[in-house]
Structure 1
Amino acid sequence: MRSIFFLLFFSISVCKAQHVSIKKNTIQTTKDTIVLSIQNNMLSPMYVKTSPKDSMAYEFVYQKILLLQPLEKVENYLKIPRKKIDATKSFKTSGYFDFTIGYGDPSTVQHNDSYVYLLPYKKKRKLVQGNFGNFSHDHIRSYHAFDFGTKIGDTIYAARGGKVVFTKEDSKKHGRTRKFSNYANFVTIQHDDGTTASYYHLDFKGVLVENGDIVQRGQKIGISGMTGFTTMPHLHFVVHKATEDQGNISVPIEFEGYVGKKLKRGKKYKRRN
């Protein structure tokens, strides 16, 4: 019998698979049952809701809702009877379940709508895709995202202060399909209201902060690059809050110097201070 291949990271949404991992527990797994654990790889709480999408999944034992603390690992997350799966084929959790993921605690997070963000770069740069852009800002996690056409090597600054909860800087890959999403280098910062800001498509070795750092508004945090799901150098900037029903959702924000104004695709913008 061929051994079963376990996907260490399951596909949740664009650029999210690195934040959480599901692994086989070799000690608790028996000849009859496969036992999987789940781990939060971030330095912020993480909300995970597991919903079966295949009729067979209802026969598995799983934990429907979890609030994982920073770096927490939960054993016995999912138990799968061996007789219920085909051992000659690869087993992927995403084939049986939908996963709703939120960075933070949905019961306490509340975006401060009065906060005015700093543009995360200094030079005049074009907005290449704005809110509700039909190329990739077409779902609830990116409705309110901004793609600024930065150049490779531009310095990226924190639009708002907070704690660095996750980073990636080891990728050199990019491409025009979503399969490249997990190759984006990035910095994710959690704010004092529980929301998170993510700065994507940074350069290889282009992260200037460390996990756990407390950064100030306007502090240098990265170098712009061209990694992940992209066809041109740019910075993807988005603020998320965790919700129970929909996981991470993007929230509308305003930038200093442009309060009350809608940023338009094709127009150039620069920091006003």
Structure 2
Amino acid sequence: MRIVIFLLLFSISICKAQQVSIKRDSTLSTKEYVSLYVKNNMLSPMFCKIIPKDNIPETIIFTEITVIKPSERINNFIKVPRNILKTDSSLITLRDYFNFKFGYGDPSTVKHTDEYEYLLPYKRNRKLIQGNYGNFSHDHISSYHAFDFGTQIGDTIYAAREGKVVMIKESSKKHGRTRKFINHGNYVIIQHDDGTTAAYFHLNFNGALVEQGDLVERGQAIGISGMTGFTTTPHLHFVVHKATEKNGNVSVAIQFEGFVGKKFRKGRRYTRRRK
């Protein structure tokens, strides 16, 4: 999963939905500065690191590193002097001056447990169509350890690990073969007790079987497989992330129950095994 940043009217959209919003605050803006606030729309902490570029005006005021609590809003996150705004539209492209790194969770507290055995998030015999380090879309630090399991539209998807539902999206009906569709995928994101999060992507329209804030058990039905977002075929994109200060969200290597010590290979079929 890549982190994609778009800016329009002082808003930032990342990670295929508005998990974090940066928007203009008219009440705190002054004649000299436009004030922007940051809002965490998730029920998990979000880590944000702003990396200024060499050309940034010294008059822009910003918060370099922060952990945003669940549903928290931080005012005066960025203050932009009005004299650098485009006079015709009052817009500023923040990525002209900054790079942003975001991550689900708090890097200071997340502790990935290598020993945990995840449950395969489906019950039927399914083919792995792209594995770890796949060169089609698993070519980034946030997706190196992702799995794409071929599914049929309508398959039930199950929680691979217990946790809290911190974000869902189920409103999209769009899909396509290019990255311009990356923000159109439906998903469920679950945070675990070690601070990591599991993302279940490409769910069906209205395909979430849980709600934000729900506590789910391992093996509980959480969604219906579909074909939404950046995809060429119906499948479930499953990945576990942890937040880091250096790189934001990074995927972590995991093992599945019944397959400990075994490498999943593209083209092979896998069925859930229970102890």
Paired amino acid for 1:130? G
Mapped to 2, the partners of 1:132 and 1:88 lie a distance apart of 45
The gaps in structure 2 that reach 5 residues or longer are 1-6
Equivalence for 1:262: 263
Mapped to 1, the partners of 2:267 and 2:123 lie a distance apart of 17
Equivalence for 1:240: 241
C-alpha RMSD of the superposition: 1.5
Equivalence for 2:96: 95
The gaps in structure 1 that reach 5 residues or longer are none
1:171–1:204 Cα contact (<8 Å) kept: yes
Equivalence for 2:232: 231
- Please list, as runs of the form range in 1=range in 2, the aligned pairs for 1:178-189 lying within 5 A after superposition: 178-189=179-190
Q: Offset of 1:256 from its aligned partner? A: 1.1
SS of residue paired to 2:199 = strand
Mapped to 2, the partners of 1:181 and 1:241 lie a distance apart of 20
Mapped to 2, the partners of 1:219 and 1:94 lie a distance apart of 40
Q: Offset of 1:85 from its aligned partner? A: 2.9
Paired amino acid for 2:72? E
Equivalence for 1:114: 115
2:12 to 9, 34, 38: 9
2:16–2:184 Cα contact (<8 Å) kept: no
Q: Offset of 1:31 from its aligned partner? A: 3.0
Q: Offset of 1:33 from its aligned partner? A: 1.4
Q: Offset of 1:16 from its aligned partner? A: 4.3
Mapped to 2, the partners of 1:20 and 1:38 lie a distance apart of 7
Q: Offset of 1:272 from its aligned partner? A: 1.6
Question: How many pairs are equivalent?
Answer: 267
Q: Offset of 1:32 from its aligned partner? A: 2.5
Paired amino acid for 1:202? L
* Match status 1:144 vs 2:121: no
* Identity percentage of aligned residues: 61
Equivalence for 2:75: 75
* Match status 1:216 vs 2:217: yes
Equivalence for 2:3: none
SS of residue paired to 2:18 = helix
2:10–2:24 Cα contact (<8 Å) kept: no
Which runs of 4 or more aligned residues in structure 1 lie more than 4 Å from their structure 2 counterparts after TM superposition? none
Mapped to 2, the partners of 1:106 and 1:123 lie a distance apart of 35
Paired amino acid for 2:254? I
Mapped to 2, the partners of 1:144 and 1:88 lie a distance apart of 45
Paired amino acid for 1:69? K
Q: Please list the CA deviations of residues 81-136 of structure 1 after superposition, one character each: whole Å capped at 9, or x if unmatched.
A: 11123233542323321111111111111111000000000101110100000111
SS of residue paired to 1:121 = coil
2:16–2:185 Cα contact (<8 Å) kept: no
- Please list, as runs of the form range in 1=range in 2, the aligned pairs for 1:19-30 lying within 5 A after superposition: 19-30=19-30
**Is the deviation greater in 176-185 or in 84-93?**
84-93
Paired amino acid for 1:105? D
1:9–1:17 Cα contact (<8 Å) kept: no
TM-score normalized by structure 2?
0.93
Mapped to 2, the partners of 1:140 and 1:257 lie a distance apart of 26
- Please list, as runs of the form range in 1=range in 2, the aligned pairs for 1:44-59 lying within 5 A after superposition: 44-53=44-53, 55-59=55-59
